[in-house]
Amino acid sequence: MIPVSSVVRFQNRGGAQRDTEVNSYPESLGRDCVTFPAVSQNKRIAIIPGDGIGKEVIPEAVKVLTALGAPVETSQFDWGADRYLADGVTVPPDGFTMLGRDFDAILVGAFGDPRVRSNIHAKEILLGMRFRMDLYANLRPVRLLDAALCPLKGIEPKDIDFVVLRENTEGVYTDAGGVFKQGTPDEIAIQEDINTRKGVERIIRYAFEYCERHQKQDGSLRQRVLLCDKSNAMTHAGGLWQRVFKEVSAEYPQIKAEHMYVDALCMQMVRDPRQFDVIVTNNMFGDIVTDLAAGLQGGLGMAASGNIHPGQTSMFEPVHGSAPPIAGKNIANPFGAILTAAMMLAHLGLAEEAARIEAAVLEAIRQKKTTQDIGGNLGTSEAGEWVARRVAGVGHKQ
């Protein structure tokens, strides 16, 4: 768990360091929670490490932010399985309102603990943030940092640089449905797939806007948006996505509009990931294809994501989960969380700082200063420390 101190040191944009007093939130909002007077120009970040390896990788991301001297103030929240098991609270009253009101962004680890078999805390905290804060665009970049990380032969970093935009507030995740005649041979389970015109249109529009406004790493323009669905079988929902995609794409004639069924897309992603640019899809397909895409990047330990509502407090988390079997062993890869922190900084307008983190992670990979899952022999905290020292400019010859 990240230690909570009563005085936190942070850096101003000008570089001057000072200590600041911390205020405590009421007990109900989290026993590990501290915050700051509202006078600072720094970006206010809520940190929620969560469960399992979330509690190991997020401290490394915070370590890197601190070493960078990024103009941010962090406040810790202990929401997760331990807290739930201790006092039954998943999200304290007004927790989401507080996050939206008092913070510029939220950095999250992962939720999921074998002791909470219902997974109720993950549902209420993680899906709660996505749904209740209306974070409708789940942006999951897929970038290969080094050829050695990709399981495909002959694939270079320039070949994998696409993004998945996953609808994040609807679909089968809305929990609409129910079970009828449970425990009998006639049992019926219904899980509804909710697709609203508004929800579908805004994520498709976000994808086209993203394509128009963002370049690839090599500086070339993004040019294509691909709709991924299963409209051949799921005709009602798929029909809506198809119609809206056609309408919205007509407003962006300079962008090529493409389509693939999700099953074919999975095959193509493994066969030739070079063909992808911007992919837009629904909640569940987006979840599945981004684990597959993480495999192309070196595994789940490398993949970053943002849960975004433009203009509102957004939430950033690595794509991976709490990985219970490897939790507490100092072996989890912290780079997904560190790259997620970089993504958060870029979203907050701190592109230069974000680039410094990415460059340090890239160098760590080149020098094999990594955890075992991607070929190094460092522990979680040692790999995080290496990146932190690199961004701080300490020991360039390390």
Q: How far is the CB of 144 from Mn ion (least distance, A)?
A: 20
The question of whether 55 is a catalytic residue gets the answer: no
Q: Which of residues 72-131 bind Mn ion (CB under 5 A)?
A: none
Count Cβ atoms below 10 Å from residue 69 Cβ, excluding itself: 18
Q: Among 173, 193, 206, 277, which one carries the catalytic annotation?
A: 173
The question of whether 173 is a catalytic residue gets the answer: yes
Q: How far is the CB of 287 from Mn ion (least distance, A)?
A: 4
Q: How far is the CB of 139 from ligand IPM (least distance, A)?
A: 12
Q: If binding is defined by CB under 5 A, does position 287 make contact with Mn ion? A: yes
The question of whether 175 is a catalytic residue gets the answer: no
Q: If binding is defined by CB under 6 A, does position 322 make contact with ligand NAD? A: yes
What is the C-alpha separation between 201 and 253, in angstroms, rounded? Answer: 17
User: Of 287 and 385, which has the nearer Cβ to ligand IPM?
Assistant: 287
The question of whether 287 is a catalytic residue gets the answer: yes
Q: If binding is defined by CB under 5 A, does position 317 make contact with Mn ion? A: no
User: What is the DSSP secondary-structure string of 226-247?
Assistant: EEEE-TTTSHHHHHHHHHHHHH
Q: Which of residues 324-353 bind ligand NAD (CB under 6 A)?
A: 324-326, 332-333, 336
The question of whether 230 is a catalytic residue gets the answer: yes
- Helix 351-366 to helix 380-391 angle (10° resolution) is 130
Site string for ligand IPM, 201-220 (x = CB under 6 A): --------------------
Interstrand relation of 137-143 and 177-180 (parallel, antiparallel or unpaired): unpaired
Beta carbons of 150 and 160 less than 8 angstroms apart: yes
Q: How far is the CB of 138 from Mn ion (least distance, A)?
A: 10
- Helix 54-68 to helix 351-366 angle (10° resolution) is 120
Q: If binding is defined by CB under 5 A, does position 146 make contact with Mn ion? A: no
Site string for ligand IPM, 141-170 (x = CB under 6 A): ------------------------------
User: Of 68 and 323, which has the nearer Cβ to Mn ion?
Assistant: 323
323 binds, among ligand NAD, Mn ion, ligand IPM, none (CB under 5 to 8 A by kind): ligand NAD
What is the C-alpha separation between 60 and 67, in angstroms, rounded? Answer: 10
Q: How far is the CB of 287 from ligand IPM (least distance, A)?
A: 4
Q: If binding is defined by CB under 6 A, does position 287 make contact with ligand IPM? A: yes
Question: Two tokens at 297?
Answer: 């990047």
Interface residue with ligand IPM among 33, 68, 98, 122 (CB under 6 A) is 122
Q: Among 94, 175, 263, 272, which one carries the catalytic annotation?
A: 263
Question: Two tokens at 323?
Answer: 């990985």
Q: How far is the CB of 247 from ligand IPM (least distance, A)?
A: 27
CA neighbor of 51 nearest in space, from 275, 386, 326, 366? 326
3-state helix, strand, coil in the chain (%, to 5): 40, 20, 35
Q: If binding is defined by CB under 6 A, does position 130 make contact with ligand NAD? A: no
Interface residue with ligand NAD among 143, 166, 222, 320 (CB under 6 A) is 320
Beta carbons of 136 and 202 less than 8 angstroms apart: yes
What is the C-alpha separation between 294 and 265, in angstroms, rounded? Answer: 15
Q: Give every CB contact of residue 18 below 8 A, 6+ residues apart in sequence.
A: 9, 10, 12
CA neighbor of 136 nearest in space, from 213, 202, 229, 227? 202
Interface residue with ligand NAD among 146, 277, 317, 385 (CB under 6 A) is 317
Q: Give every CB contact of residue 371 below 8 A, 6+ residues apart in sequence.
A: 301, 331, 332, 333, 334, 335, 378, 379, 380, 383
User: Of 122 and 279, which has the nearer Cβ to ligand IPM?
Assistant: 122
Q: Among 43, 55, 63, 230, which one carries the catalytic annotation?
A: 230
Q: Which of residues 358-387 bind ligand NAD (CB under 6 A)?
A: 373
What is the C-alpha separation between 224 and 45, in angstroms, rounded? Answer: 33
Q: How far is the CB of 122 from ligand IPM (least distance, A)?
A: 6
CA 15 to chain centre: 28
Q: Which residues are catalytic?
A: 173, 230, 263, 287, 291
Residues lying near ligand NAD in the complex (CB under 6 A) are found at: 53, 57, 110-112, 122, 126, 300-301, 317, 320-326, 332-333, 336, 373
Residues lying near Mn ion in the complex (CB under 5 A) are found at: 287
